Amino acid sequence: MRGLAGRVVAGAALLATVAMLPWLSGTDPAQTVLRARSGDQDPTPEQLAAVRDELGLDNGPFTHLARWLSGDAGTSWVSGEPVLPAVSNAFAVSLTLMAGALVVTIAVAALLCARTTYLGSRQLLRDSRAGTGAAFLAALPKFLLASLLATVFAVWLGWFPSGGWQGPASMVLPAFALGVPSGAVIGALLEQSLPATFDEPWVRTWHACGFTSGRIAWHALRGALAGVLPQFLPSVVGLVGGAVAVEKIFNIPGLGRLALDAALAQDLPPLQTATLGLILLGFAAGLLVQLLRRALLGPALRDGGLMATRPPVLPPRRSARWVAAFCAVTLITLVVAGLLRDPLQVDTASRLLSPSLAHPLGTDALGRDVLARLGHGAVRTTGVAVAVTAVCVVLGLLLALTGKISSGLTEMMSTLPAVLAGLLTTAVTGPSVWGAAAAVCLVGWTPYAAQAAAQFEQERATDHITASVALGASPAHLLRHHLLPAVLPPLLRNALLRLPTTVLVLASLGFLGLGEQPPTPEWGRLLSENQQYLELAPWTTLGPACALVLLSVLAVTGTATRRPARRSAAASGLRSAT
């Protein structure tokens, strides 16, 4: 009941906030709607008064919300077309695209954890992988990957349509652009949790009794997947509303694009209906994830009979240190070399020059040195992204401690596009880098809350927690000595994998005029503003994209070179006894 109440309250609050967007924005809604209709930049007072009277804007937001809640989706303020058919078609397109992205996500995740699964099921796992491949794929910008796939496979080779939504072939390239980075995150988290599962006593017993490696692998995957499954909600289901850039590149009439266009035009009826669709999707997906988790874990989750799992002390692969050192040296070299150059010098005679001795990474569309902008934007980019990620992790951890009360809020917010959150935040704070950071924090905590809540639930159902409670351990003692040590390491690894995504979301808000403003050099902005020149001058995006990949790989491999902490005494004692 608490979970259901949380979902209802969260959904109602989100709908009410969206309903107030035109009044929160600080601009005249009538003027925005009139501009969206006719492009008139200087409407007369009479025209504005006519629009206010036509739309009933003087009645306030709650009158419109009450009429909409009565079952009347209404018509678009801009086009005059009925809202419900347009939103239904966009929702169906986004669901189909999500299904395709989910297939790609599962395939990529399976490939990434195939080695660990194979060796672990045969008791041959001797070292830990650094996750370099997963970090590389997770750091790929979705819109840059979409542009690359469209250029190569649609324009050059002609294998797939370059845009539109005309059949199954139109879904292939967008599904890969969305599914590959998401699958890398899911696969990396699953690969990191598998060694602990393969180190459980039952695996050694089954192996000694002659059970097949396939059967051992299947049961190990069931246990590890239960902890990773909640990440499908923000990583895959969130693509329905968050795939705006990819939908624009491939000209796909999806729900995220519809919601963004409606929000920018302050077209309230389709925006409210699209938001309701996202809320219902989050509710249904959250319920499905919970049912699947309980089916995977079985009665042991309810009866407190789960086995305490801690990662075994495996030495890192020697190559991880070399990869981390290479990434660190390369990043430092790029940043130092860039700081010695002027990032704001415009030279229109040097537009889109290819890399040379004078410009090692080439120039952009205004003739500015890409290396200079990359170096000067390093501290600002990484500093803001790390701060936002830290805030999101703390928020997610705190909300996860509340249990089922916050589960509804997590499900609702996981499907909310960050761009829409940026519009809501900017309406109050104005366009700035900190307003964009607040917008990302508003929705960016959901992956960490989903992961932490699932792991808290599983850890509380373990035998060593039951024993500690029987011995008189207080809730504070359990949290400090058992729950947090079990939850924090995988949570931090998840945050490191998602660090480049935070950079790109901040960039997308800045590109829409909601965050960092030009000409400030910032890695994500370099990608956004040069994305249109990918085919003509690929070096304009190659530099910042490589910097993001190097940062992600360095973060992951840097932590992988450290040996994991040994198990707590209580957990180790119970595992030895079993």
Q: What is the structure's pLDDT at 173? A: 93
Region label for 44, one of left (φ > 0), alpha (ψ between -120 and 50) or beta (otherwise)? beta
471-492 residue pLDDT tens: 888 888 888 888 888 889 889 8
Residue 494 predicted with pLDDT over 90: no
Sign for the CA dihedral angle at 198, 203, 207, 210 comes to: negative
Contact 369, 379 (CB under 8 A): no
> Is the bond into 201 cis (omega within 30 degrees of 0)?
no
Segment 387-407 shows an average pLDDT of 87
Q: What is the structure's pLDDT at 1? A: 60
Residue 264 predicted with pLDDT over 90: no
**In the chain, where are the structural domains located?**
83-313
Which CATH class, in words, describes the domain spanning 83-313? mainly alpha
pTM: 0.84
Q: What is the structure's pLDDT at 572? A: 40
**Residue 525 corresponds to which tokens in the numbers above?**
């902005």
Provide the 3-class DSSP secondary structure of residue 305: coil
* Segments in 401-483 forming alpha helices (H): 407-414, 418-429, 433-444, 446-460, 463-470, 475-478
Contact 420, 15 (CB under 8 A): no
Residue 438 half-sphere exposure, CB side, CA atoms within 13 Å? 14
Segment 504-509 shows an average pLDDT of 74
Q: How far apart are CA 91 and CA 364, in angstroms?
A: 37
Share of the chain above pLDDT 70, in %: 89
**Residue 103 corresponds to which tokens in the numbers above?**
């297939």
74-98 residue pLDDT tens: 788 888 889 889 999 998 998 899 8
**Residue 97 corresponds to which tokens in the numbers above?**
């695209």
Banded model confidence at residue 35, pLDDT cuts 50, 70, 90: confident
Q: How far apart are CA 381 and CA 243, in angstroms?
A: 22
Region label for 338, one of left (φ > 0), alpha (ψ between -120 and 50) or beta (otherwise)? alpha
Which residues lie closer than 8 Å to 279 by C-beta, 6 or more apart?
11, 14, 15, 412, 415
198-252 residue pLDDT tens: 888 888 899 889 899 999 999 889 888 888 888 887 777 777 766 777 888 888 8
Segment 104-118 shows an average pLDDT of 93
Q: What is the structure's pLDDT at 501? A: 78
Q: How far apart are CA 490 and CA 469, in angstroms?
A: 24
Banded model confidence at residue 578, pLDDT cuts 50, 70, 90: very low
509-532 residue pLDDT tens: 766 666 667 777 888 778 878 878
User: Which DSSP letter does residue 299 get?
Assistant: T
